[in-house]
Copies of this chain bind each other. A is one copy, B any other.
Amino acid sequence: MISQPLSKLSVIPLGGTGEIGKNLLVFEYEDSIVLIDGGVKFPDEELLGIDLVIPDITYLEKNRERIKALFITHGHEDHIGGLPFILPKLNIPIYGTKLALGLVKAKFQERTPYPESLMHVLEPGVPILAGAFEVEAFRVTHSIPDAVGYSLLTPVGRVVYTGDFKVDYTPIDNQHMELGKLAAWGEEGILALLCDATNAERSGVTWSEMAVGKALREWFERAEGKIIMATFASNVHRLQQAIDAATDIGRKVCVVGRSMENVVRTATELGYLKLPNENTLVASSEVGTMPPEKLLVLTTGSQGEPLAALTRMATRSHRQINVQAGDMVIIAATPIPGNEKLVGKTINHLYQIGAEVVTKEMGQVHVSGHANQEEIKLVIRLARPRFLIPHHGEIRHQAGFRKIGHSLGYSDQDIALTQLGSRVELSPDQMKFGERVEAGSIYIDGLGVGDVGHLVLKDRQQLGQDGVVVVVAALSKTKPYRVMSGPDIISRGFTFMKEADILVEGAKKEVLNSIEVQIRKDQMEWGILKANIRENLSKYLWDKTRRRPMIMPVLLDY
């Protein structure tokens, strides 16, 4: 028995709450901190030019010496994609199952290396001591093999985090979700359950991944030309089922797209993907010379990403693989919100070529990896936690999860809806919010990390909407003040200035006027002059065009 503690356990989400993506959970008890996951998020449209978003880890950097370890739940980008940016700043040991860690290692090979000595493969059911925490992984089923949740036995009680999960009773690899373990801990008493809330708005249960295998076989039977199947690269079980089905009808498999190639390589090396024979795979350079009815192409691009392999094939800009009339293209995925239009474009291109297109709507070629309402209820009933904390979801999903909690008899006080940086303080009989910690988003753009702030993004939005107008003039900075050259007006992204002579002349007059007003005041303060030019010209252009280009006055000293 653990004696009654004086301190509280803090649970702090630095990512993955109020949003889908960049998961990072912090567990803190006195001088012990343990982390779970370190993911990325893909930027919203308004984050122009941003490649990735990662959690702000200022809080962790300030408390670096207290952090004992980071544990990974599974190998999806939104759980491990931020590690190359996060880990080098913390230099802490990380733990994960074999596949998850394998994917992390592959990730580090692309960027800065991380010491092998700090990476540890972990076995579900084998507890690891990390400061005040005894951390134990338990198997869950999800859309990637080797996914786990974690139990953290702490001085104030046991806290369980499901990680991303669904309840799949017939997983392809026969690695069942350890519901029994959850139930046993439930009998002993769980203080709080952090639970995947992604699908909390969806009624019923999700289908088993096995249903996809069945549907794929049916579609494969009907295909006459090449079969091209796009799916999430990390869904190793779906790849396995597709490869098996193709082999059974005498088709060879070509793997295309960087992330697909990476996952197939790693998963095969680690034994998670089993190729039926030595000749299963063919190189993409061979595809052109093979009979189409002997081929399955596994490819990236299920989200219509402009540079992904399927998108290139659909627009006939892939170097090695062409989609032809009579080919069957299976999009075994659902568009992530925001990608619907891109996916639609790819589908239109494919139909244009004359391919048959199979989507989720036409047959069960995709199932979700997240638990629906009835699965969430099952897990809560088995775990019987004192308190509930939805994790991994937007506000709507948290609200949906709260409704589920209500339906099972939990009150609002028993359910903590967090925000980024919320500190949920747990004692054996109480859950309440403590003081928030610094949290938010760091934008990654090109090679830089964190040097693109909100001002730069605001500028990009204005530039992207209405373009830029540069005003150049050379002035004598000593008396008598005079305009020596210009003003000249150059624009990009605004309108065809060449076709707008009157507009340009009017703009020049406006600028000249601003300068002359300043000269008449007999005072040449360039800061003020620039501000006046900006204001007056902006007004003029708005009146004439109803647009607000960014105005950049450039004054040269003559």
**Cβ-based interface call for A399 (8 A):** yes
User: Across the interface, do A550 and B492 meet the contact criterion of CB distance under 8 Å?
Assistant: yes
User: Across the interface, do B556 and A490 meet the contact criterion of CB distance under 8 Å?
Assistant: no
Q: How many copies does the complex hold?
A: 2
A360-373: CB near B (< 8 Å → 1, else 0) gives: 01000000000000
Contacts of A446 in B (CB 8 A): 545-547
A288-317: CB near B (< 8 Å → 1, else 0) gives: 000000000000000000000000000000
Given contacts A348-B396, A554-B554, contact A493 B547 (CB under 8 A): no
Contacts of A474 in B (CB 8 A): 474, 556, 558
Contacts of A351 in B (CB 8 A): 395-396, 398-399
Determine the distance from Cα of A48 to Cα of B463 in the docked complex, in whole angstroms. Answer: 9
Report A226 CB to chain B, min CB distance, Å.
18
Report A476 CB to chain B, min CB distance, Å.
12
User: Across the interface, do B338 and A447 meet the contact criterion of CB distance under 8 Å?
Assistant: no
Chain B residue, CB-CB nearest to A361: B201
Report A380 CB to chain B, min CB distance, Å.
20
Residue positions of A touching B, CB distance < 8 A: 18, 44-45, 48-49, 201, 337-338, 340-341, 344, 347-349, 351-352, 357, 361, 394-396, 398-399, 445-448, 451-453, 455-457, 459-468, 470, 472, 474, 485-486, 488, 490, 492-496, 499-500, 544-547, 550, 552, 554, 556-558
User: Across the interface, do A464 and B472 meet the contact criterion of CB distance under 8 Å?
Assistant: no
Given A338-B341, A468-B550, A474-B556, 18 more pairs with CB closer than 8 A: A45-B341, A337-B341, A340-B340, A348-B395, A357-B399, A451-B495, A456-B467, A456-B493, A459-B467, A460-B466, A462-B493, A463-B463, A464-B464, A464-B465, A468-B468, A468-B492, A472-B472, A554-B554
Contacts of A466 in B (CB 8 A): 49, 460
User: Across the interface, do A556 and B44 meet the contact criterion of CB distance under 8 Å?
Assistant: no
Q: Taking each of A395, A488, A550, which has the highest tally of chain B beta carbons within 10 Å of its own beta carbon?
A: A395
10 tightest A-B CB contacts, nearest first? A464-B464, A446-B546, A463-B463, A459-B493, A460-B493, A49-B465, A348-B395, A351-B399, A338-B341, A446-B547
Determine the distance from Cα of A493 to Cα of B49 in the docked complex, in whole angstroms. Answer: 10
User: Across the interface, do B396 and A48 meet the contact criterion of CB distance under 8 Å?
Assistant: no
User: Across the interface, do A470 and B337 meet the contact criterion of CB distance under 8 Å?
Assistant: no
Determine the distance from Cα of A349 to Cα of B485 in the docked complex, in whole angstroms. Answer: 53
Report A332 CB to chain B, min CB distance, Å.
17
User: Across the interface, do A492 and B347 meet the contact criterion of CB distance under 8 Å?
Assistant: no
Given contacts A399-B351, A456-B493, A456-B495, contact A554 B463 (CB under 8 A): no
Chain B residue, CB-CB nearest to A419: B352
Determine the distance from Cα of A18 to Cα of B558 in the docked complex, in whole angstroms. Answer: 57
User: Across the interface, do A394 and B348 meet the contact criterion of CB distance under 8 Å?
Assistant: yes
User: Across the interface, do A492 and B556 meet the contact criterion of CB distance under 8 Å?
Assistant: no
Report A199 CB to chain B, min CB distance, Å.
12
Determine the distance from Cα of A331 to Cα of B48 in the docked complex, in whole angstroms. Answer: 29
Determine the distance from Cα of A11 to Cα of B558 in the docked complex, in whole angstroms. Answer: 65
Determine the distance from Cα of A485 to Cα of B467 in the docked complex, in whole angstroms. Answer: 27
Report A347 CB to chain B, min CB distance, Å.
5
Report A167 CB to chain B, min CB distance, Å.
21
User: Across the interface, do A556 and B486 meet the contact criterion of CB distance under 8 Å?
Assistant: yes
Contacts of A500 in B (CB 8 A): 451
Report A304 CB to chain B, min CB distance, Å.
11
* Neighbour of A347 across the interface among B396, B455, B547, CB < 8 A: B396
User: Across the interface, do A344 and B394 meet the contact criterion of CB distance under 8 Å?
Assistant: yes
User: Across the interface, do A545 and B448 meet the contact criterion of CB distance under 8 Å?
Assistant: yes
Given contacts A460-B465, A463-B492, A463-B493, contact A472 B554 (CB under 8 A): yes
* Neighbour of A460 across the interface among B348, B464, B488, CB < 8 A: B464
User: Across the interface, do B48 and A45 meet the contact criterion of CB distance under 8 Å?
Assistant: no
Given contacts A460-B467, A485-B556, contact A337 B337 (CB under 8 A): no
User: Across the interface, do A492 and B552 meet the contact criterion of CB distance under 8 Å?
Assistant: yes
